[in-house]
Amino acid sequence: MKLRYVFLVLVFSVFSIKAQNLLPFNWEFSYKKDSVFTVNNNVNLLLSWERQGLSYLTPSGKLSTRFKIPKNTNKASYILEVCLLLDVKDIYINGVYIGGDISNKFKWSANPKYNITKFKIPNDVLFIDKENTIEINCSNFSYTGGKSHNSVKFYAEYKFDNSKIEISFNSENHLFEKSSEVLFNLNMNLNSDAELDIFIRNDFADTLFVKNAFVKKNTKHFRIDLSKENLAPGFYEVIVNAKNMGFSGAVSWFTVNPTKIKNTYNKPADFNQFWDIAIAELKTIPPNFKVKKIDSLCTSKRDGFIVEMKSINNLTIRGYYFVPKQKGKYPALLNLPGYGYGFENLDEFLTVDEDVIELAFCVRGHGISDKIVEDKLESPGFFGHQICNKEESAYRQIYMDCIRAVEFLVSREEVDSSKIGVLGGSQGGGLALMTASLASKSISACAYFDPFPTDLKNHLRIRKLINGEIEGFLNFYNNSCDFKTAMNNLNYIDTIHFAKMIKCPTLYITGLFDDDCPPRIGFSAYNKIKSEKKFKIFPNDSHIGESGSKKEMMAFFKDQFKF
């Protein structure tokens, strides 16, 4: 029987007290499947939900773990801190109700601030020097982008700092050219002797290496040498858990020779013909380019416009167009949007001082082009739209929108048509790859950040929730085709197959923590590009691109086009 009589103090804060955490990172998540049996999954709060197969598709369930309170704290007051990117229905300690009705949603920010909910726990609820249990009933696991901002801490109020562990790599950007070079250090500040558990997993979540060690309090560095593990080209996650008077830990990523990753994913035999037909269809539609100056988009350096054009299915597509005020010919950059994003925040274009033209293009279903979509591509989403009919795929239409945007730039007298670049991240990255390929005669440089849809075969292996999403798309269409047929259809929009046809200099930027569009899939495309190319790794970035991928891309285009 669960009791509900605890007095508590509830405080919201963005700061966490650095006291000894008595709760482990490892929890168990259980839920009912098909209302018949309970499924139990191990969950580590150091890792993103998605890396552990948890997402908005996951049923409601219960997180639980056990912990012990040392004897030397039995006169202290205790605090429970909760910061979880999900909806908390209620929390119980030893069967006693503590609180609930807490929600934290993901914030698209390089430095997000999440609310930490604090409870003061009465001593009569707790068992000193014995096993205690904590249970959190929860639902609606939030998107994370690849980094965990989750924490649940339980500590005594007196000032006693937690142990600290950092994972340190000597190699730049956590990149090793050879497996025989892989080693790193754990830098530690321990408050007592500790037990270390060290795990190495690949990006498919296969555990490849486990090491347990006992270290003394005065140990400052602990070396991990993987030079004899013969790690294949790929991406690897390091997870460290330390247990002494409490729990501390760290997680990081490294990569081994990613340019040698091999991919045998074959494109459909009629792939080129499929896209030749789409381009031929686009040519039958007069573009009807229109340009309208918008005062609110003008700055001291550039004039701003909204442009319109007709695309495949005779739909009107729009974008934001920025042109230097002084008359002349300028390089032009085609900015392509992420999934569902319509450049709602234009600050990045309104603060540009360089002499360059930019088109922030809203493909159908995005931004200012959204209202003219009559066939409701958002249901069941762009990726799943007409998944059983490749000729009606949303991406077949969206790709043609991008080609029309290139035609618009080529038609403008103010554009130096020998200096047209294309760029984007996430879906925009996939669109950039496709555009640089199908419009290779017009595109002189390409830059992309972790792309989509790219290398879908491996994407489904890494980000397993996509499998459930595809099953949902099929259900939406009453299972008019099977999963295999759906994957065959998606193979026609997989931008990995366009990479070989790119002829211009190309920059790829990736974040090793990205679990939305993980670096393996971006390198799968990169490794097929035959033209001049280079890559940049941000080892601590997620899909948010915390270090600023757009800044790196602009530096690349400045070097290419000399503006």
Question: How does DSSP assign 9-28, residue by residue?
Answer: -EEEES----BPP-S-SEEE
- Domain termination residue (choose one: 131, 161, 191): 161
Higher confidence at residue 502 or residue 76?
502
Per the DSSP assignment, residues forming a β-bridge with 197 are 212, 241
Residue 158 neighbours by CB distance under 10 Å: 11
Whichever domain contains 218, its CATH number is 2.60.40.1930
Average pLDDT, the chain: 92
pLDDT tens-digit readout, 289-323: 999 999 999 999 999 999 999 999 999 999 999 99
What is the pLDDT confidence band of residue 4, given thresholds at 50, 70 and 90? very low
Percent of the chain clearing pLDDT 70 (strictly above): 93
3-state SS, residue 176: strand
Parent domain of 228: 162-260
Chosen domain end from 110, 130, 161: 161
Tally of structural domains, the chain: 3
Which residues are the active-site residues? Answer: 426, 514, 543
Q: Strand 151-156 to strand 357-362: parallel, antiparallel, or no bridges (unpaired)?
A: unpaired
Domain end among 101, 128, 161: 161
Residues 6+ apart with CB under 8 A from 51: 146, 205, 237, 515
Mean pLDDT across 90-107: 94
Q: What are phi and psi of 64, to 5 degrees?
A: -150, 150
Q: Are residues 396 and 544 in the same domain?
A: yes
If we measure between CA atoms, which residue out of 352, 332, 358, 526 comes closest to residue 429? 526
Asked if 331 and 460 sit in the same domain, the reply is yes
Same-domain check for residues 168 and 131: no
162 contacts 249 by C-beta, under 8 angstroms: no
Task: Provide the pLDDT confidence category of residue 105 given band limits of 50, 70 and 90.
Answer: confident
The pTM of the full predicted model, rounded to 2 decimals, is: 0.94
CA 397 to chain CA centroid, Å, is 25
> Is 292 found in the same domain as 215?
no
Question: Do residues 244 and 389 share a domain?
Answer: no
Compute the distance between CA of residue 62 and CA of residue 136 in angstroms, rounded to an integer.
Answer: 5
Other CB atoms within 10 A of residue 366 CB: 29
How many C-beta atoms surround the C-beta of residue 136 within 10 A? 23
Helix (H/G/I), strand (E/B), else coil: 45: coil
Residue 5 pLDDT exceeds 50: no
The fraction of the chain above a pLDDT of 90, given in percent, is 86
Task: Provide the CATH number for the domain around residue 113.
Answer: 2.60.120.260
Instruction: Based on the fold, state whether residues 175 and 156 are members of the same structural domain.
Output: no
Closest CA to 142 of 99, 90, 91, 103: 103
| Stretch 197-217: mean pLDDT | 96
Residues 397 and 533 occupy one common structural domain: yes
Shared-domain flag, residues 287 and 404? yes
Q: CA-CA distance, 492 to 245, in Å (whole number)?
A: 55
10 Å CB burial of residue 310 (0-12, 13-18, 19+) is middle
pLDDT at 73: 63
- pLDDT tens for 497-520 read 999 999 999 999 999 999 999 999
* CATH number of the domain that residue 315 is part of: 3.40.50.1820
pLDDT tens digits for 438-483? 999 999 999 999 999 999 999 999 999 999 999 999 999 999 999 9
**How distant is the alpha carbon of residue 332 from its chain centre?**
28
pLDDT digits (tens, 9 = 90+) for 386-410: 999 999 999 999 999 999 999 999 9
Is 183 in the same domain as 118? no
**Three-point CA angle 55, 393, 435, nearest 5°:** 95
Number of H-type helices and E-type strands within the chain: 9, 27
Looking at the structure, do residues 171 and 139 belong to the same domain, yes or no? no
Where does the pLDDT of residue 255 fall: very low under 50, low under 70, confident under 90, or very high at 90 and above? very high
**3-state SS string over 400-453?**
HHHHHHHHHHHHCCCEEEEEEEEEEEEHHHHHHHHHHHHCCCCCCEEEEEEECC
Residues 167 and 157 in one domain: no
Q: Same domain for 410 and 526?
A: yes
Instruction: Check: CB of residue 447 under 8 Å from CB of residue 502.
Output: no
Distance of CA 34 to the CA centre of its chain: 30
CA-angle at 74, arms to 73 and 76, nearest 5°: 65
Beta strands across the sheet bearing 183-189:
164-168, 183-189, 221-225
Helix axes 483-490, 465-476, angle to 10 degrees: 100
- By CB atoms closer than 10 A (0-12, 13-18, 19+), residue 114 is middle
Q: Which whole number is the average pLDDT over 164-191?
A: 95
Binding residues for substrate: 339
Q: What is the identity of the amino acid at 380?
A: P
Contact (CB, 8 A) for 185 and 168: yes
pLDDT at 280 over 50: yes
Give which of 162, 231, 172 is closest to 200, Cα–Cα: 231
